[in-house]
Amino acid sequence: MLEMSIYHKASAESVDSIFTDGLRCSRRGPGHDEPRVRRTNDVLDDLRPDHLRLQGLDRNACTYCYLVVDGLVFDVESGRLVPERDWLTRVGGASGAVALRLAVDPAVGYVSDLEVYDELAARIDDASDRTVHKLAQRYWERVVALPDLCRHYRRSHHALVRRAEAPAGLPSRLERVEVLLTADVPPDRIAPAS
């Protein structure tokens, strides 16, 4: 079973309200209002499969987080696996950012493949509708529920690799992932990273 932790990066100004009110899925993080990101998220949500819609997965109403496996953080910005201590030091030194450790029910979390997301975002304004639909379908096919990730994957070098006995429908390899939480995180499940 894959052991994991989850971090959320927040601005220093928002930390007091997070510790009081928790993390709300409706909060929008930095970059979310950038036009290309907003359009990509809207297209993905419009083309989201019904079974994920019913689970509450919505790119415009989720909390984005960082996955930690074997003491290594899947760093969304660099696309690399970074030692947890180095990542925490870098976040703490970044412009007003604070890393928060979350204790969440895996049933409300998913990981998505940022390589496919970025490909769609890069092509969203000039690709044909058919290409956009195909990329969106590929994105959603590569989304893995956290319980499935824990049960069916292992870390191998800089990637998460599907175990041999796992269902064949799961992606065989995930290299650059982010965590999407579909439920609010109450304040008692949030702690400053140490």
pLDDT tops 60 at residue 27: no
Question: Which residues, other chains included, contact 54 with Cβ-Cβ below 8 Å and sequence gap of 6+?
Answer: none
Q: Please, which pLDDT band fits residue 76 given cuts at 50, 70 and 90?
A: confident
Q: Where are the beta strands (DSSP E) in 48-188?
A: 63-69, 72-74, 81-83, 97-102, 109-113, 144-145, 153-156, 159-162, 173-174, 177-181
Chain segment 1-16, per-residue pLDDT in tens? 677 899 999 988 999 9
- Contact yes or no for 38/124 (Cβ under 8 A): no
pTM for this predicted structure? 0.91
Residue 74, strand partner residues: 81
- Contact yes or no for 139/117 (Cβ under 8 A): yes
Output DSSP code: residue 23.
B
- What mean pLDDT is predicted for residues 152-180? 93
Residue 101, strand partner residues: 7, 191
- Contact yes or no for 175/158 (Cβ under 8 A): yes
Q: What is the distance of C-alpha 80 from the center of its chain?
A: 14
172: exposed, middle or buried (Cβ count in 10 Å: 0-12, 13-18, 19+): exposed
Q: Please, which pLDDT band fits residue 31 given cuts at 50, 70 and 90?
A: low
Buried b / exposed e over 119-135, threshold 16 CB at 10 Å, is bbbeebeeeeeeebeeb
Chain segment 91-131, per-residue pLDDT in tens? 877 667 899 999 999 999 999 999 999 999 999 999 999 99
Lookup: tokens for 42: 């809207």
Chain segment 134-153, per-residue pLDDT in tens? 999 999 999 999 999 999 99
Lookup: tokens for 26: 């409706």
